[in-house]
Amino acid sequence: MTGPEHYRKAEKLAKIAARYRESSDALALIELAQVHATLAQVAATVEQASNAAIASDINSSTLATWYEATHTATGGDAL
């Protein structure tokens, strides 16, 4: 998932949790929303850092490692 996709998923899950706040599943929905919000923040941070790195021509191997970590599918995408 991309950063914007994580953000949209977090918003969707938070709205569902608010709608069903009396449900036993509300806490799990809130936790999932928080995970997606955190991943969206990580993606935004990495994108900003990569733009700065490109502008200043710093360590491209570190940049490539972050890009790979944030742009490749993993087993965690099942949710």
| Greater model confidence, 74 or 70 | 70
pTM (global) more than 0.75: no
Q: How far apart are CA 67 and CA 42, in angstroms?
A: 11
CB contact set of 11 (below 8 Å; sequence gap of 6+): 33
What is the residue extent of each domain of the chain? Answer: 3-71
Q: Per-residue b/e over 42-73, b at no fewer than 16 CB within 10 Å?
A: ebeebeeebeebeeeeeeeeebeebeeebeee
Helices assigned H by DSSP within 1-79: 3-19, 26-56, 60-71
Q: What is the pLDDT of residues 2-56, one digit of tens each?
A: 899 999 999 999 999 999 999 999 999 999 999 999 999 998 888 887 777 666 6
